Amino acid sequence: MKLASPEQAEAAFYSALDKADLAAMMAVWAEDEDIVCIHPGGPRLIGMDAVRESWRRIFAPGPHMGFQLLDVRVHGGRMLSVHNLYERITIGGQPKAHLALATNVYLLTPSGWRMLMHHASPLPPDTPGPDMPIGTLH
The nearer residue to a second copy, 47 or 63, going by C-beta atoms, is 47
Sites of contact with a second copy (CB under 8 A): 34, 36, 38, 41, 43-44, 46, 73, 75, 77-80, 82, 84, 86, 101, 103, 105, 107, 116-117, 119, 121, 123-124, 127-128, 130
The nearer residue to a second copy, 16 or 39, going by C-beta atoms, is 39
- Beta strands 112-122; 97-109: pairing state: antiparallel
What is the residue-wise DSSP string for 37-102?
EE-TT--EEESHHHHHHHHHHHHTT-S-EEEEEEEEEEEE-SSEEEEEEEEEEEETT-S-EEEEEE
- Min dist. Cβ of residue 16 to a second copy (A): 21
- Min dist. Cβ of residue 86 to a second copy (A): 7
- Min dist. Cβ of residue 88 to a second copy (A): 13
Contacts of residue 54, Cβ cutoff 8 Å, sequence gap at least 6: 37, 39, 42, 45
- Min dist. Cβ of residue 20 to a second copy (A): 24
